[in-house]
Amino acid sequence: MSDFLDQVEACVPALRRYARALTRNVDLADDLVQDCLERAISRPGLFRPTGPVRAWLFTILLNLYRNSLRSSRRRTWMLDSAAPDELSTPAPQLGHLALAEMGRAIDALPSEQKEALLLIALEGLPYQEAADILKIPLGTLMSRLGRARATLRSVTGTPAEPRLRTVK
């Protein structure tokens, strides 16, 4: 059990990064990670040592995130008219603006593409492990990544990377 908890603890920073990228809200991300860890630690018998603990934890986190999206769509929210408008000033740095633009573009992606892109680009997971976490075939993952990258290029105006051609 101690080895299991050590493996879970080692995954916490990656879980936080992924949750923050998915939710774009620090508080919601922390709650999501806490719920994920609570489920994993309270049910260690559900872990099947056929793969890494990390993939199992990412699967739990992703399922919790998807469940929260489904339940939030069912709820109706009322705006608090007494809440003050937030004042903001544009960032003077071009890099910050480009990063904010990319964040908005990623947020606008369909959830299937966003989840795949973040597992690969943010967490650096191997394609097969990301496909296993998402419970989709490898080809489907590659297709979602391709569509996500193409959408991001068109939205941000970033040119595609040139393909290297082999010389015969």
pTM over 0.75: no
Q: For residues 127-142, give the mean pLDDT.
A: 94
Asked whether the CA dihedral 48, 14, 37, 131 is positive or negative, the reply is negative
Q: What is the CATH number of domain 95-158?
A: 1.10.10.10
* Residue pair 58/8 in contact by the 8 Å Cβ criterion: no
**How do residues 85-127 score in pLDDT, each as one tens digit?**
555 655 556 667 777 788 888 888 999 999 999 999 888 999 9
The CATH number for 1-72, chosen from 2.40.50.140, 3.90.45.10, 1.10.1740.10, 2.60.40.60, is 1.10.1740.10
Residue 59 CA to residue 51 CA, distance in Å, equals 12
φ, ψ for residue 84, nearest 5 deg: -70, 150
In this predicted structure, what is the pLDDT of residue 79? 47
Domain ranges within the chain, ordered by starting residue: 1-72, 95-158
**How do residues 6-36 score in pLDDT, each as one tens digit?**
888 999 999 999 999 999 899 999 999 999 9
- Provide the residue count of the chain: 168
